[in-house]
């Protein structure tokens, strides 16, 4: 970071006035919980504007701390990483994810992280590029000029097919893929602030959501354990699961079936949902900013000339990456990250007691005018030609940070870049009249209600390849 340009703690002229108060009143925090449950995004922004960089919040008598300054976020992520555990909500995520990387901790997490990293080395990530592009080409082959689609649903379908192909290869057919899609939708809806999830209602309580959740997890388990059993029996495939099956720790031990299942479900859920949201929000923003879309089209035409992109094209598409980064600044798929203090710690001069929950919100920090002039504007140029070099390290953290930074961050960026390149060079996305983006934050920053409906406009003079990879048939 170039500290002569922007001091990590120095405000700029557009910084809002900050109060010296530590947080909203209330020993129990019932009112805080109500606001948080009904309008999280506005609540967190209001808290930051009123109380500053570290805000103490009581939620049902428990202390929570909202940490907003990049330096303090780095303290939590890096300096105090050893005494930061998973956040309180992880126990709810366990119902679907088991003890994968998002939910495990301690020695189990360390071991799994080392084993999983063998599948995400740069050479392996690049080997997935052709599959990502080819599956995307096949997935949009059925689109027609003038067709109306649900933007998030279509991006979710595409990313699900991409992740399924990269993870399982040809081991998952179209029928299995539909089972996974429907099951994952049930799981996502459960986590989307359902009363059962918020109240941590035990899974044995026979509510409709609990029953649907149990059935969805059972469907995914049946599929994944079936695929694992075939691989154990000798079926060989050069895909991500194949790499995980052969990954060994220092003692030569490999993952159990349960560990493989937990990591596979985590990759399914995190690997397709966050990328689908990033793409849907990016295409929405492009539809609202034709000047940005023209620059994107110029880069795609110059670099690709209508052909399918591959691994070597990703670095040659810097503006495409800038568009995605700016979209994830405004609409971060992971809109908040949590930790639990396992010991008393000091952050930014404030005492945070053992057991406190710590919130680090991408939604808040990414829109802070101290780091991003015109913070509500969509401006991919802010990421070009080294203009972002002066930013504090954690002014932008769409993939989290510290030792628990998303292991698939480079995978996700390559996937999003390639899918956007394939889609955008062949199709223009027009919002239908009356469509307004409303957000529904849950585990991820989803679109509220049925989602945005758009019309497809085929770009003239751009034809798909003669023989794209065939989609799997039922």
C-beta atoms surrounding 353 within 10 Å: 11
Give the mean model confidence (pLDDT) for residues 254-267.
92
Structure token digits, residue 347: 């952050």
Across the strands, what pairs with 66? 55, 359
Quick check: 407 pLDDT over 90? yes
DSSP string, 266-305: HHHHHHHHHHHHHHHHHHHHHHH-HHHHHHHHHHHHHHTT
Residue 256 CA: distances (Å) to CA of 164, 244, 434: 21, 10, 51
Q: Which residues pair with 456 in a beta bridge?
A: 429
As to burial, measured by CB atoms within 10 angstroms (0-12 exposed, 13-18 middle, 19+ buried), residue 472 is: middle
**Model confidence, pTM:** 0.89
- What number is the average pLDDT over the span 205-227? 91
Question: Counting beta carbons within 10 angstroms of the beta carbon of residue 143, is it exposed (0 to 12), middle (13 to 18) or buried (19 or more)?
Answer: middle
pLDDT digits 0-9 by tens, 30-54: 777 777 777 889 999 999 999 999 9
Query: In whole angstroms, what is the distance from residue 308 CA to residue 133 CA?
Result: 7
Average of per-residue pLDDT across 105-117:
93
**Model confidence band, residue 193 (pLDDT cutoffs 50, 70, 90):** low
Q: Where are the domains of the chain?
A: 1-97+335-376
How does pLDDT run across 271-314, given as a tens digit for each residue? 788 999 999 999 999 999 999 999 999 999 999 999 999 999 99
Element (H, E) at 428: strand 427-431
Mean pLDDT of 395-400: 97
Q: Say whether pLDDT at 72 is over 50.
A: yes
Residue with tokens 């959501």: 209
Yes or no: say if 134 and 469 are a contact pair by the CB < 8 Å rule.
Answer: yes
Distances in Å between the alpha carbon of 458 and those of 136, 212, 285, 294, 426? 16, 39, 18, 15, 6
Strand, coil or helix: 469: coil
| CA dist., res. 81 & res. 402, Å (int) | 7
Structure tokens at 48: 């930051």
As beta bridge partners, residue 59 has 62
Say if residues 462 and 143 touch (Cβ distance below 8 Å): no
Query: CB of 408 within 8 A of CB of 271?
Result: yes
Using the predicted structure, report yes or no on whether residue 1 has a pLDDT greater than 50: no
Cα–Cα distances in angstroms (integers) from residue 403 to residues 2, 41, 53, 110, 346, in the given order: 24, 26, 23, 10, 19
Q: Does domain 1-97+335-376 have CATH number 3.40.720.10?
A: no
- Three-state SS at 237: coil
Query: Judging by DSSP bridges, how do beta strands 148-150 and 453-458 pair with one another?
Result: antiparallel
Q: Provide the pLDDT for residue 465.
A: 55
d(CA 327, CA 253): 41
Question: Who has greater pLDDT, 171 or 379?
Answer: 379
Q: At what angle do helices 174-191 and 151-168 cross, to 10 degrees?
A: 120
- pLDDT at residue 463 greater than cutoff 60: no
In 309-349, DSSP assigns E strands to 337-341, 345-347
Whether the pLDDT of residue 471 is over 70: the answer is no
pLDDT at position 180 = 78
Joined together, the tokens standing for residue 116 give 């999983």
Task: Name the packing angle between helices 257-288 and 318-330 (round to 10°).
Answer: 100
């Amino acid at each position: 970071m170039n500290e002569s340009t922007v001091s990590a703690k120095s405000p700029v002229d557009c910084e809002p006035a900050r109060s010296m108060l530590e947080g909203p009143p209330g020993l129990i925090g019932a009112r805080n919980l109500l606001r948080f449950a009904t309008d999280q995004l506005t609540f967190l922004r209001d808290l930051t504007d009123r109380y500053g960089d570290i805000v103490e919040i009581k939620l049902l008598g428990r202390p929570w701390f909202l940490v907003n300054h990049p330096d303090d976020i780095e303290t939590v992520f890096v300096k105090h990483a050893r005494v930061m555990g998973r956040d309180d909500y992880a126990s709810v995520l366990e119902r679907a994810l088991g003890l994968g990387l998002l939910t495990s901790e301690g020695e189990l997490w360390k071991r799994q992280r080392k084993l999983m990293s063998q599948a995400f080395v740069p050479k392996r990530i690049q080997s997935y590029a052709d599959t990502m592009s080819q599956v995307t080409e096949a997935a949009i082959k059925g689109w027609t000029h003038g067709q109306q689609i649900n933007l998030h649903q279509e991006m979710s379908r595409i990313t699900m097919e991409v992740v399924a192909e990269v993870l399982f290869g040809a081991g998952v057919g179209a029928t299995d893929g539909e089972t996974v899609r429907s099951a994952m939708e049930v799981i996502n809806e459960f986590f989307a602030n359902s009363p059962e999830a918020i109240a941590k209602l035990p899974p044995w309580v026979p509510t409709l959501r609990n029953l649907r959740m149990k059935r969805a997890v059972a469907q995914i388990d049946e599929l994944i354990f079936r695929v694992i059993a075939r691989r154990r029996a000798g079926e060989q495939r050069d895909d991500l699961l194949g790499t995980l099956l052969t990954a060994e720790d220092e003692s030569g031990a490999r993952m159990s079936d349960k560990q493989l299942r937990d990591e596979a479900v985590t990759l399914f859920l995190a690997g397709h949902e966050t990328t689908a949201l990033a793409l849907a929000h990016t295409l929405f923003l492009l539809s609202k900013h034709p000047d940005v879309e023209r620059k994107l089209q110029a880069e795609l035409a110059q670099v690709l000339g209508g052909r399918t992109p591959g691994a070597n094209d990703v670095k040659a598409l810097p503006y495409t990456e800038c568009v995605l980064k700016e979209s994830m600044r405004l609409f971060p798929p992971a809109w908040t990250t949590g930790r639990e203090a396992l010991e008393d710690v000091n952050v930014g001069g404030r005492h945070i007691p053992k057991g406190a929950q710590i919130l680090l919100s991408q939604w808040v920090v990414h829109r802070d005018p101290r780091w991003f002039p015109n913070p509500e504007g969509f401006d991919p140029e802010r990421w070009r030609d080294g203009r972002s070099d002066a930013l504090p390290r954690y002014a932008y953290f769409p993939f989290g940070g510290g030792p628990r930074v998303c292991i698939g961050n480079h995978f996700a960026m390559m996937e999003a870049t390639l899918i956007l390149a394939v889609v955008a060079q062949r199709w223009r996305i027009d919002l239908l009249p009356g469509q307004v983006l409303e957000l529904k934050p849950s585990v991820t920053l989803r679109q509220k209600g049925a989602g945005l409906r758009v019309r497809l406009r085929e770009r003239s003079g751009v034809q798909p390849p003669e023989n794209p990879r065939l989609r799997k048939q039922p």
